[in-house]
Structure 1
Amino acid sequence: MKRLLPLLAVLAPVPAFAHAFLKHAEPGVGAVVATPPAQLLLTYTEGLEVPFCTVTVEGPDGTQVQTGKPQPVPGHEDEMSVPVHIAAPGKYTVTWRALSVDTHKTQGSFSFTIAP
């Protein structure tokens, strides 16, 4: 029985604590791109409640870049797209707040650079 207890501890079900963390971004995290993107595509580790998600973009001079409202990507509940209006080269910082389908909130940021 003593040998069985450690095995049972390993096999016991562990509750899942799911949160929507950023899995992939286009432009990519830390990427250097030649042309300004017309939109950001953000992919998360689980489904999103997109109407309750926010994305802001700060330009190289610290001012906020004009963005559209995050939109769901049809057929991909774990993705959202965000239209952006970027004209100048430089480093851009994206700050996101996500609400997953299981109501957990997460947030984070990343940057990408548009080469001159």
Structure 2
Amino acid sequence: MPGPSFNSVAWFEIGTGQPQEVKQFYGQLFDWDFRLNTNTPGVNYHAVVTPGAQQPTGGVWESEGKFPDYAVFYVLVQDVAATVQRAEELGGKVLMAPITDAAGLTFARLEDSAGHHFGVFSAPAP
């Protein structure tokens, strides 16, 4: 099965101050499996692997109460910086500037012109 195409929703994230409860709920409801991801130092992140999937398609970020709980989608793009710039030109706002983790994944969080939170990301070249 081919991977997701550019400009499609390809990841989700749940930010929570109650990670054990969230993992238990979704694990029991949908039979999701969780794997600790240590690619971003100082961040407690658990990749979500859904039944039948060969790789993660989402994650649970432990907020430790530093921000309100949320659930957000991420769109796979070719160039995160260019997408962020275009979003700003269209009236969007940058909530988190682009960063790159230890695995080479680059991501940013944005707000659309109507105030909705979403993310964009790009994967390193194979």
TM-score past 0.5 threshold = no
Question: Which of the two has greater helix per residue?
Answer: 2
When normalised by structure 1's length, the TM-score is 0.31
